[in-house]
A and B are shown apart, each in its own frame.
Chain A
């Protein structure tokens, strides 16, 4: 389903959130797809089920997945979930985080932009469907 690594600078639950968000926005996990149960994914990754539960809670509050009681966890239909202002704020926040991590590495701006463009192109649905 997804890969996690210990020793990463992101906590395991964040890696799960990032990994699943990517798969959902890229269309690899289309709306209606069923996700593993909390216990199922915890077993697959050999991690504490609380960590998976926490990631699922965050993905649910982001409107990306929903839990249907007694049936399972599913990917939601895409919709405009955030106000323009909120999207702007989040973009700014993410950019600052990104810059803080990337600036010290000393890559040329063009190199960084090329990589970013390449990565963004894998998020077809994310970049296409937003107004």
Chain B
């Protein structure tokens, strides 16, 4: 991880506009499971407001972070504060200001939509009936339906409707669109963007769907092997990743490990593409010196850039980059 110099410096654009206190603040947060470090010295401050996407490959520490934030796991080391309170000592009132939506969308099956909504309404003083109706409307939910009769998409919608109507200041969403069809997925995104996103509400959203993140996120938090790699706007992380097209293939005598920041090699139409993190402004010449002549820059999309970063460890765990995949 030494090649990333700016991993703990948040972009100025993300510094809190209102309220000086971050909604989430961790300092040196570490969680150890036996010999494995699930989170390693995570220092993160998430300002109030907006949608912050958390990305990382499986095992990067996303779920562990969420469990620590919710106080259902205890840190091995370090601090974790949520809404100004130590997450290990969340009182019921503060806990009520934090919402959670998981991919399972677990709700009691025997209750009707109306009954469950009424129960939640009585439990949450900040309940918004307008928000509930708006989101439930996206999913065409009927008040008399039993939860057990709802489709997976409708159940997801109901969960999101309840979570947003509770009026949380912090809403944590763990892959809310996993396994949903296009229509339900679209409705979840609309709900989060237009009923959910507010200046005084922070949405912490974890997903593997880069297209969703491109549409939704104000901020992007990148985790890798339990460490914070970057916290910035999605665009500034994207801007750190460049792609170069070689005239043909990288000559076999070239030591690819010497190419600084190399994330991914891929052959498209007989020409090799190199995706690189934090390339030198004069990267073309740098490649030339290493024996790769005639490379030209090629703009790539957000999904390709971020996925190249997230999957580099699958190519080789030691940071070395494996031989190119044909495409």
Contacts and interface: CB of A to CB of B under 8 A. Distances in A.
A107 to B, nearest CB: 13
A6 B301 contact: yes
A113 B327 CA distance: 30
Interface in A21-77: 39, 42-43, 46-50
A9 interface: yes
A49 B193 contact: yes
B186 interface: yes
Given A7-B302, A9-B301, A101-B299, A47 B211 contact: no
B117 interface: no
A124 interface: no
A12 B215 contact: yes
Contact of A6 (B190, B211, B297): B211
Nearest to B295: A104
A8 interface: yes
A50 B235 CA distance: 13
Interface residues of B, number: 28
A8, A49, A104 pick with most chain B CB within 10 angstroms: A104
B24 interface: no
A43 B190 contact: yes
B197 interface: yes
B51 interface: yes
A11 interface: yes
B241 to A, nearest CB: 12
B189 A46 contact: yes
B193 A48 contact: yes
A121 to B, nearest CB: 26
A47 B193 contact: yes
A48 B296 contact: no
A39 to B, nearest CB: 7
A43 B303 CA distance: 22
B259 to A, nearest CB: 18
Interface in B184-237: 186, 189-190, 193-194, 197, 210-211, 214-218, 235
Interface of A: 6-12, 39, 42-43, 46-50, 100-101, 103-104
Given A39-B194, A46-B190, A104-B298, 12 more contacts: A6-B214, A6-B301, A7-B303, A11-B235, A11-B238, A11-B302, A12-B214, A43-B194, A46-B193, A47-B193, A48-B217, A104-B271
